[in-house]
């Protein structure tokens, strides 16, 4: 059942307050990708078990597959069934129109990323698109996130070395972050400090000293994309510095894929794949989410969902 505009506005106001609280109390929301109902179940069970507030997020691929309104309804149903604090993020929305549809659907968090669809988008194009979404988000109070350039990688496993010298060329700078935040009025800045989309055969290395300088330069929230395959100590330090949101996708998909392959191999006579997913996959993905919640220092930080 669709939410009313007053309900959406209350949810967005609460989400904004909680992001501010996360920053002040040095914990971060885990933003976990929602691929299907089993992954949503895994996130919800982890949130309930750890008493942690969470975000679930969908990018354009999931939006096309599931539908914005269906995502909203699924999450709300699970929120009340599990009694958890949970919000929805539209991740890497590739156009202004797509972002506006997410706002209208009642998503509390909107990430506008026109460089996702056009890697060659100019600074002016990115700024103007972001400003338009920030202005439109006033309709509901949704929190808007963006970054000034294309963020590399993808939600997959990459069997190659990470060329950090090349990645460093796209690192955020304190000066650039401040200019972008001031020009756009965003609520959350997606920092690039060595984080990279995807899962690799070597762990990622985050420049925490750079993160400190960015934190000092801007007043808005800071998020980290590409959190998969990152040693937990980086996250534990990042939340102390002031990161409020960390995105996880590939680690969950890797657990999903490997666990279902193992279950199929061990149960060759079972043709109800849904049973295997419920019994094996959900547990494996839930374990990933719970481990991240611990690293993000968000365990025990949830509030009563009936107040949301």
Strands (E), the chain: 29-33, 54-58, 86-93, 109-112, 143-146, 153-158, 188-191, 197-200, 221-224, 245-248
Count of Cβ atoms closer than 10 Å to residue 135 Cβ: 11
Helices and strands per DSSP (H, E), number in the chain: 14, 10
Q: Residues 202-218: pLDDT tens digits? A: 678 899 999 999 999 99
Average of per-residue pLDDT values in the chain: 92
At residue 203, the pLDDT reads 73
Instruction: Let me know: does 111 contact 134? Beta carbons within 8 Å.
Output: no
Instruction: Let me know: does 31 contact 53? Beta carbons within 8 Å.
Output: no
Tell me what percent of the residues of the chain surpass a pLDDT of 70. Answer: 92
Of the ranges 44-48, 170-174, 183-187, 291-295, which one carries the lowest mean pLDDT score? 170-174
Q: Residues 126-151: pLDDT tens digits? A: 999 999 999 999 999 999 999 987 66
Instruction: Let me know: does 47 contact 84? Beta carbons within 8 Å.
Output: yes
What positions carry a catalytic annotation?
91
Q: Residues 232-289: pLDDT tens digits? A: 999 999 999 999 999 999 999 999 999 999 999 999 999 999 999 999 999 999 999 9
Residue ranges and CATH numbers for the domains of the chain are 5-300 (3.20.20.70)
At residue 116, the pLDDT reads 78
Q: Are strands 86-93 and 188-191 parallel, antiparallel or unpaired?
A: unpaired
Instruction: Let me know: does 84 contact 48? Beta carbons within 8 Å.
Output: yes
Distance between CA atoms of 50 and 291, rounded to whole angstroms?
A: 10
Distance between CA atoms of 32 and 84, rounded to whole angstroms?
A: 15
State the chain's maximal CA–CA distance in angstroms. 60
Q: Which of residues 272 and 160 earns the better pLDDT score?
A: 272
Distance between CA atoms of 71 and 287, rounded to whole angstroms?
A: 23
Q: What does 240-264 look like in DSSP terms, one character per residue?
A: HHT--EEEE-HHHHHHHHHHHHHHH
At residue 158, the pLDDT reads 56
Whole-model pTM above 0.85? Answer: yes
Query: What residue spans of 105-228 are helical by DSSP H?
Result: 114-117, 123-136, 164-167, 174-184, 208-217
């Amino acid at each position: 059942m669709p939410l009313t505009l007053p309900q959406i506005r209350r949810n967005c106001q609460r989400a904004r307050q909680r992001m501010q609280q996360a920053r002040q109390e040095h914990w971060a929301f885990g933003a976990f990708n929602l691929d299907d109902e089993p992954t949503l179940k895994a996130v919800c069970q982890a949130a309930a078990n750890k008493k942690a507030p969470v975000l679930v997020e969908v990018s354009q691929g999931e939006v096309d597959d599931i539908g914005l309104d269906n995502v909203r309804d699924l999450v709300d149903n699970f929120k009340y069934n599990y009694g958890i604090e949970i919000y929805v993020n539209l991740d890497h929305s590739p156009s202004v129109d797509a972002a506006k549809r997410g706002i209208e659907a009642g998503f509390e968090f909107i990430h506008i990323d026109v460089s996702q669809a056009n890697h060659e988008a100019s600074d002016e194009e990115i700024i103007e698109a972001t400003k338009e979404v920030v202005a439109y988000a006033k309709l509901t109070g949704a929190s808007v996130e963006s970054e000034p350039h294309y963020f590399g990688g993808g939600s997959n496993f990459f069997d190659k070395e990470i060329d950090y010298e090349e990645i460093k060329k796209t690192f955020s700078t304190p000066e650039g972050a401040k200019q972008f935040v001031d020009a756009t009025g965003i609520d959350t800045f997606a920092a690039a400090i060595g984080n990279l989309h995807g899962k690799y055969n070597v762990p990622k290395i985050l420049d925490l000293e750079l993160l400190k300088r960015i934190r000092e330069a801007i007043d808005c929230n800071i998020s980290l994309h590409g959190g998969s395959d990152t040693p937990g100590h980086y996250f534990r330090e990042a939340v102390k510095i002031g990161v409020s949101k960390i995105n996880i996708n590939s680690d969950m998909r890797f657990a999903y894929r490997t666990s279902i392959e193992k279950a199929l191999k061990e149960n060759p006579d079972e043709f109800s794949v849904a049973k295997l997913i419920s019994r094996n996959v959900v547990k494996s993905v839930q374990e990933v989410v719970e481990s991240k919640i611990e690293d993000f220092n968000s365990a025990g930080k949830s509030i009563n969902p009936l107040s949301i």
